[in-house]
Structure 1
Amino acid sequence: MQVRQRHMLRGRLGSLVRAAAFIFGGFAIAACQSSSLGTIPGQAIAPGAQPQVTGDVVGTGSVRVGLLLPMTGGGSATSIATVFRNSAELALANFPNADVQLLVKDTAGTAEGGRAAAQAAIGEGAELILGPVFSPAVKGAAAVSKSSGIPMVAFSTDTSAASRGVYLLSFLPEGDVRRIISYAGSQNKRSFAAILPNDSYGAVVEAAFRQEVGRVGGRIVSIQRYSLSGSDTTDLVAKTNALASNIGQVDALFIPAGGGVAPLVVQTLTQRGTNLGQVKFLGTGQWDTPQMRSNPIMAGSWYSGPDDTGFKSFAQRYQSRFGSPPPRNATLAYDGVTLAAGLVRSAGQQRFDLSILTNQDGFIGIDGLFRFRRNGENQRGLAIYQLTGSGAQIVSPAPRDFRSGS
């Protein structure tokens, strides 16, 4: 977009770029400042002649948005697709008079499927693509969306799939790491160690960990990389024992993986008679499970994650409508659809322009504050939780806006 056009846009939309607002399930949430979602005078969109739609459609609005999901991916992929479609349907149902029609296309979770699904959606008039979920499908779909000039808001956590015009709405591991290490630094933790999985996730987390420890002026005492083979935790226990000799130099031990990894590490150190009095255990959003919250051995530990107030309300509405509780990531599809519907209502013909999608003040969704970077990655406003042995309590709230950091 040219400079003159950007100034014209600001003049027409007023404070939209600083105050994008959406309605989530009957209660208003505005990004950074209050603003209206009413129709902009002179900005009515005439639908005109549109191509014939085929396949699954959700909604009857005039603005078409592709929703790319692994419907035939099999196993957990198909389950995720069902949950995300349900969440998208719920979002439209909860957004008053949403002028959006979702074109649901199957990617099968593959690059070829992503490419074909994007071609089908764009060929039927989609102005925005939501999804896909898995990295191969995102990369396949991106080749089509970018050549067509259609922006994409995807659900993958693989930042290598992100680029200008391909934005990730997911919870990125780098954001979790930055938030928890930054908070630990603010609490005078200076000597860090980490126990990381020896896989691609661990590599991403290690890079972010090293960078953030340096930023807070800390030092890294030790990093141990472990491998898991099914239920065999032999290597994890061995790497924990290798760390034990240095634990006296450590203020904070970072264990990002979920499941039973962190409790096993703590249990192993405790059984060795290791003095853990000064060590604070740090985790990520992967710790946000009932099992971790109710485990007394983890009491006092900190982890980063989105404010869960909105999720609790969403989960109640989801269960009421579909008869089962949603997984934690179901909000991604809900927020993606609500983002699209909000921009259709508020931004006129520039609704999916990249300058709108990447505005610096961002948006607020079910999981709180977020914004898209120009490189396609995102930044989220995350809270810090402390485990109590019977739950979790917020010790550092999620920021309310990106300008003040509060």
Structure 2
Amino acid sequence: MRIPTDQFAAARRSFLRVALLGSAAALSACSLTGPGPGPREDAGAPNPNSAPATGSETLGNGPVKVALVLPLTQGSGASVVGVSMRNAAELAISEAGANDITLLVRDDRSTPGGAREATQTAISQGAELILGPLFAGDVRAAAEVAKGAGKPVIAFSTDLSTASRGVYLLSFLVENYVDRIVEFAASKGKKSIAVLAPENDYANVATGALQQAAARRDIRVALIERYKAGGVAASAANIGALGAQIDCLFIPEQAAAMPEVARALTASKIDPRAVQILGTGLWNDARVLGLPALQGAWFATPENAGFAAFAQRYRAKFGSDPTRVATLAYDSVSLAAALARTQGPRRFSEEVLTNPTGFNGADGVFRFKPDGSNERGLAVVQINNGTTTVISPAPRTL
């Protein structure tokens, strides 16, 4: 680990001061772990408890202008995710950054055309850095404009193909989840793994990442079973037939589908005491945690305490619960304000943004890589009696 300079140390201290308190129970109503990696994630229905979305808004009064491009609207109504992220940005400004940056909040209308227009407008108004958008297609459109103007982007999509030099992803990447859980499994002596995965974009990415992570750690991939809707039982039976040939099973499935998967595991006599079940951060959901077939399973996730503290402050200010990805807006705005305060003219340069020491946010430590991807400090948790227990804490430094 490279020791940070005094300036970087100051930036990290001032970036985010979150008391790590609360518990996993505080998150039970806010289980969205992050939008999927496809081209268009669901932004949700209107939320009557959220502030109304506006197409153009300014927060803060600092000398450095930063744009925040969000899907505040989708179709004819407000977007739960977009409005929650906008509220999180206001919380960040009120806590730390009102005198450091002027935040230009712009609605991309959940479309690439809207993202392109919002980015062009913000840059013409002096924005030095673009935060957002959320959806993959919108990130590509905004990045094209920003790159043409020489402005960096910190975006929120989980589609790694949207990342590039100067376009950094702050999102929860499935590749990080997979690498962390495979690393932990290898450290516990696991040697042979099978994969039970649906045929969708998320599982495609997760399965590819699993194969690479397993190869790096000398874990044999014994079988990869892919299934279409309604076909999980047959695929689980094929894995069950492996018996003692495997000591762990990776299942990159969404929370809503896991009850059906769990029934298939039981029917196939896959004993979780003999075969360690592994998943991703999508399992941080009450629909998964209570399943008998998943008790004892492991998955990687950001530690819950930081989000719990953030959510408590959010509820106090807005009277409603934040969506799980609201921390992306909070952290990006907090980071922009801290860098504007401490880094002078080089504040949003590639050298500063890709500092290998990284930064500390509501979801723990993270850093941007020069190719635009990110690394996050993730915990490994075990499902026990309908809740989770941390069995490998998230690192505090990278």
- Relative to the length of structure 1, the TM-score reads 0.84
Shift of 1:366: 0.3
1:196-222 alpha-carbon deviations (Å, 9 max, x no partner): 121221221111100111111110111
Amino acid aligned to 2:57:
D
Report if the CA contact (8 A) 1:18-1:362 is conserved: no
Alignment pair present for 1:20 and 2:11: yes
Label 1:143 to 1:245 Cα distance change in 2 as closer, same or farther (>3 A). Answer: same
- Cα pair distance change 1:147/1:28, threshold 3 Å: farther
Write the letter of the residue equivalent to 2:113.
Answer: E
Corresponding residue for 2:206?
205
Contact residue 19 and residue 306 of structure 2 kept, 8 A: no
Match of 1:239 in 2: 235
Task: Please say if residues 19 and 309 of structure 2, whose CA atoms lie closer than 8 Å, have aligned partners that are also in contact.
Answer: no
Q: How many percent of aligned residue pairs carry the same amino acid? A: 43
Q: In 2, Cα distance between the equivalents of 1:97 and 1:67? A: 15
What is aligned with 1:140?
A: 141
CA change 1:160–1:27 in 2 (3 A) is closer
User: Which residue of 317, 332, 338 corresponds with 2:334?
Assistant: 338
Separation (CA, whole Å) in 2 of partners of 1:71 and 1:263 = 32
Contact 2:96 2:337 in 1 (8 A): yes
Is the Cα–Cα contact under 8 Å of residues 226 and 235 in structure 1 kept in the other structure?
yes
Q: Which residue in 2 is equivalent to 1:91?
A: 92
Structure 2 partner of 1:175: 176
Q: Judge conservation of contact 1:68–1:131 (CA < 8 Å) in 2.
A: yes
Match of 2:367 among 368, 371, 375: 371
After superposition, the Cα gap between the structure-2 partners of 1:185 and 1:75, relative to the gap in structure 1 and judged at 3 Å, is farther
- Cα offset, 1:310, TM superposition: 0.8
Following superposition, the deviation at residue 242 of structure 1 comes to 2.6
- Unpaired runs of 5+ in structure 2? 21-54
- Using the TM superposition, name which of 104-113 and 378-387 deviates more: 104-113
**Deviation at residue 258 of structure 1 after TM alignment:** 2.6
Cα deviation, residue 276, structure 1: 4.4
Structure 1: how far apart are the matches of 2:320 and 2:170?
Answer: 24
Does structure 2 conserve the Cα–Cα contact (< 8 Å) formed by 1:109 and 1:136?
no
CA drift of 1:149 comes to 0.8
- Counterpart of 2:297 in structure 1 is 301
Greater CA radius of gyration, 1 or 2?
1
Q: Retained in 2: the 8 A contact 1:383–1:396?
A: yes
Q: Which residue is equivalent to 2:346? A: 350
The alpha carbon displacement at 1:101 in A equals: 1.1
**1:281 paired residue number:** 277
SS at the partner of 1:95? Answer: helix
Q: 1:383 aligns to what?
A: 379
Q: Deviations over 1:101-157 (max 9, x none)?
A: 111112122222211111000000001100000011100011111111111000001
Aligned residue number for residue 112 of structure 1? 113
Q: How far off is 1:24 after superposition?
A: 6.2
- Which amino acid letter does the alignment assign opposite residue 70 of structure 2? L
Q: Partners of 1:143 and 1:14 in 2: how far apart?
A: 33
Q: Which runs of 5+ in 1 are unaligned?
A: 1-9, 30-53, 229-233
For 1:55 and 1:262, locate their aligned partners in 2 and report how far apart those are by CA, in whole Å.
40
State the Cα distance separating 1:249 from its structure 2 match: 1.3
Q: How many residues align?
A: 362
Q: What is the CA-CA distance between 1:14 and the residue it aligns to?
A: 4.2
* Mean CA deviation greater in 142-151 or 194-203: 194-203
AA aligned to 1:339 is L
> Is the 2:60–2:97 Cα contact (8 Å) retained in structure 1?
no
State the Cα RMSD in Å. Answer: 2.2
Q: Are the structure 2 counterparts of residues 285 and 275 from structure 1 closer, same or farther at C-alpha, using a change threshold of 3 Å? A: closer
Task: Within 5 Å, give how 1:37-186 maps onto structure 2.
Answer: 55-74=56-75, 78-95=79-96, 97-186=98-187
1:245 CA drift (Å): 1.2
The alpha-carbon deviation at position 266 of structure 1 amounts to: 3.2
Q: Secondary structure at the match of 1:223?
A: strand
Equivalent in the alignment of 2:392: 396
| Residues 205/106 of structure 1: CA separation in 2 closer, same or farther (3 Å cut) | same
2:130, 2:286 → 1: CA distance? 34
Residues 222-255 of structure 1 deviation map (CA, whole Å, 9 limit, x = unaligned): 1111223xxxxx2122222232212431111101
Q: Which amino acid aligns with 2:351?
A: S
Whether contact under 8 Å (1:263, 1:298) holds in the other structure is: no
The answer for the alignment partner of 1:312 in structure 2 is 308
C-alpha separation between the residues in 2 aligned to 1:389 and 1:339?
37
Matches of 2:282 and 2:64, distance apart in 1: 36
The secondary structure found in structure 2 opposite 1:392 is strand
| Alignment pair present for 1:261 and 2:272 | no
Deviation at 1:26, TM superposition (A): 5.3
Greater mean deviation of Cα atoms: 361-370 or 252-261: 252-261
Q: 1:151 touches 1:166 (CA, 8 Å); kept in 2?
A: yes
Separation of aligned partners in 1, 2:344 and 2:202: 39
Whether the 8 Å CA contact 1:22–1:28 is kept in 2: the answer is: no
Secondary structure of 1:156's aligned partner: coil
Matched, 1:325 2:321: yes
Contact 1:71 1:77 (C-alpha < 8 Å) held by counterparts: yes
1:171 Cα deviation after fit:
0.3
TM-score (norm 2): 0.86
User: Equivalent residue for 2:39?
Assistant: none
- The 3 A distance-change label for structure 1 pair 203 and 105 is same
- Structure 2 distance, partners of 1:308, 1:23, is 21
Q: Would the alpha carbon gap of residues 248 and 282 (structure 1) be closer, same or farther in structure 2, given more than 3 Å must change?
A: same
